[in-house]
Amino acid sequence: MAKSEKINFSTPSGFPEFLPGEKRLEVYLLDTIRRVFESYGFTPIETPAVERLEVLQAKGNQGDNIIYGINPILPPNRQAEKEKAGESGSEARALKFDQTVPLAAYIARHLNDLNFPFARYQMDVVFRGERAKDGRFRQFRQCDIDVVGRRELSLLYDAQMPAIITEIFTAINIGDFLIRINNRKILTGFFQSVGIEESKIKSCIGIIDNLEKIGEAKVKQELEKEGISPEQTQKIIEFVNIKGTVDDMLDKLKHLAQIMPEAEQFNLGVTELEAVITGVRNLGVPENRFCIDLSIARGLDYYTGTVYETTLLGHEALGSICSGGRYEELVGVFLGEKMPGVGISIGLTRLMSRLIKAGILNTLAPTPAQVMVVNLQTELMPLYLKVSQDLRKAGINVITSFDKRGLGKQFQLADKQGIQFCVIIGADEAAAQKSSLKDLKTGEQVEVGLANLAEEVKQRLVPKG
């Protein structure tokens, strides 16, 4: 068979693909995340990869993102159809770049078939035409949850988010993390109170959001560019740098609120933040897992209340590993209805690839098989097949070897794939309805009756990596 000449079969730049052991890790993470999401009653949805361009671009939805339009390519033998209606290429369509705009469209499409508050999770891949560098991908999977209400939505939904974040990152066991909570109304209100014009507040919040990334000096410069006075800047910097325990912070904020009774936004933000913190505590989130951080702003300008970021302690350079917040005017965009929502997002593809690189997560074995029934004598194959099926019926993942090479080679192949056990049956053993069970991890080999084999394997199985 001739090799196809000159075909570049590598993946297009920025479109990642995983080896089996990496993909198995992703599947494990997705299962774990899903289990936590579902335990809070979030239900799965999936929106198409493709939406109408006008949906993706409505009301500036596209933001700064480069998105991918799609256009039909006819096969060589169907070029004659180009002008026909085979695939009406007339409507502009593009790949989704996030899951928030599609959520808004989904709710608009199915309004009367959904129950509110509508709590959904979505773990689809999304597409952005960014420069493929620094662990940025053009296709990546996001694990998002949002609860959306009609007209109003309890702040206790905001309080559930840190509980969910805590359970997920505890379950996947990546070390100590800290959820940093703030409320955009507090920032907006404080900016108002120091006399910053309404029209500049969103961009100022965007600048503050970069404080940790670009440092104080650069933030001061950028605020100056926005026309903020040095005195105002000083007050802002001092304010967002207030540190302390959760209770200290709440006390300080409540004190400020008291001495600024006219600062409505600020007062409302403090009240909201306190209600959220109370809920977080009532949900049993450990005190060392969350804090109030007034410098957390979230760049996206649709957030209106609670905002969250999550830092992996000792690995701050990773950036936030789970972020989100409360918004008012996002989901109702297609319906012209106020639909407040609160949500969080884990950028799983990026997170996983960075946690693997940092040695925090290990890839799994390349196969889910736990047992290989080896091929010692081909004439015993009917028995090997039967034994394999019996193990499978007991819930064990089994590869039956059809390899004609010696046992050594078969053991080697099993070991390379991370299979823990080999089952060896020769003619004598077959006659006696027995097998040798070899543990490739310890080298130990024991004789086990075929009737007890599944039970024996289950007892000896080390949870499969």
Annotated binding-site residue numbers for L-histidine? 98-100, 128, 142, 146, 298, 302-303
Looking from the CA of 275 toward its CB, the CA atoms found within 13 Å total: 14
| Among the listed residues 79, 80, 83, 113, the single contact to its own copies using CB under 8 A | 113
Q: Does residue 163 interact with its own copies by CB under 8 A?
A: yes
d(CA 168, CA 181): 17
**Rounded-to-integer distance, Cα 260 and Cα 274, Å:** 17
Of the residues 33, 119, 318, 425, which one makes contact with its own copies according to CB under 8 A = 119
Q: Is 125 among the residues that bind its own copies (CB under 8 A)?
A: yes
The footprint of its own copies on residues 271-310 (CB under 8 A) is: 279, 282-284
Task: Give the C-alpha separation, 443 to 295, whole Å.
Answer: 55
- Phi then psi for residue 437, to 5 deg, are -105, 115
Q: Which stretch binds its own copies (CB under 8 A): 247-255, 295-303, 312-320, 413-421?
A: 413-421
The nearest distance, CB 115 to its own copies, in angstroms, is 5
Q: Which stretch binds its own copies (CB under 8 A): 49-57, 216-224, 236-244, 422-430?
A: 49-57
Interface segment toward its own copies; rule CB under 8 A; list 218-226, 354-362, 379-387, 439-447? 379-387
Residue among 162 and 309 whose Cβ is closer to its own copies: 162
Residue 190 found at the interface with its own copies (CB under 8 A): no
- Burial class, 417, CB count within 10 angstroms (exposed 0-12 / middle 13-18 / buried 19+): middle
Q: Which stretch binds its own copies (CB under 8 A): 3-11, 182-190, 250-258, 440-448?
A: 3-11
| CA pair distance 290, 313, nearest whole angstrom | 12
Q: Are 250 and 271 in contact (CB under 8 A)?
A: no
Q: Which of 100, 127, 232, 295 binds its own copies (CB under 8 A)?
A: 127
3-state secondary structure at position 306? strand
CB of 412 to its own copies, least distance (A): 10
CB of 59 to its own copies, least distance (A): 6
Footprint of its own copies on 320-339 (CB under 8 A): 329, 332-338
In terms of C-beta distances under 8 Å and separation of at least 24 residues, what long-range contacts does 203-208 make, across chains too? 204/228, 204/236, 205/297, 205/301, 206/297, 206/299, 206/301, 208/236, 208/240, 208/295, 208/297
Round to whole Å and give the CA distance between 322 and 334: 27
Q: How far apart are CA 392 and CA 373, in angstroms?
A: 12
Q: Which of 59, 218, 243, 441 binds its own copies (CB under 8 A)?
A: 59
Site for its own copies in 65-94 (CB under 8 A): 65-78, 86-88, 91, 93-94
Nearer to its own copies, 58 or 242 (CB): 58
Query: Which of 323, 11, 301 minimizes the C-alpha distance to 139?
Result: 11
Q: Closest CB to its own copies among 109 and 458?
A: 109
Cα distance between residue 133 and residue 138, in whole Å: 10
254-273 residues near its own copies, rule: CB under 8 A: none
